[in-house]
Structure 1
Amino acid sequence: MKSLIRSPRDVKLLKKKGIISQYWIDDQEYSTYFRSLLDEVFPTDFYFGSLCCQVDAYANKFWFRRKMSALYHTYFSTAWSMTSFIAAICLFILTVLQTYFTINPAR
């Protein structure tokens, strides 16, 4: 549970899905409680270690897709931002071509 709940948003999602049923506890208080849960306990046997390694290996396959998705959602969330980016690239290419042909004129 400690790795499931990292922020109040996680608590809100788990409440929405019906996994957590204590609605009278504040989300921030709930997340603070679960972050401090088992801080002093050190398990000797972790039975899900191989499963965690498999999940990490599977998640690492798609690192490029996750990075591109984050880039898209951060910088290109609207059509205008994508359009302005494409226009800026075209302008940059035309500027480079103009500079090249100014330095090396066609005879």
Structure 2
Amino acid sequence: MDGQNLPGWIGVLPLIRPRFARPPSPARGEGTDGVGPYVVDFACVRLRLVIEIDGGVHGRDDVVLRGALRQTEIEALGWTVVRFTNDTALGEPWRIDDAIRDRARVLGLL
């Protein structure tokens, strides 16, 4: 896989979103993929893996409930959903890399 020696989840971006040479920016309309009727942060069709990065608003009860229902429906479509907080994504990005690699191993791709 390209970028294996890059630090953190940037090393797996070619697998998730090959068109990005930099981390995607929702402000530019990047970083949004569709899975069924839902827009997700990152999706890898080959792995049927959704990565969601949850910000502070995800601590609100209504957002937690909506997120759980949404995740259940995405998983019912045959996808695996892995969630990370903003703090983890920024401070421990290797956890995202590990999750992607773990999913690839489960599917026998690594």
TM-score by length of 1: 0.24
Greater helix content: 1
Bigger relative contact order, structure 1 or 2, given CA contacts below 8 A and separation 6+? 2
TM-score by length of 2: 0.24
Which structure has the larger Rg?
A: 1
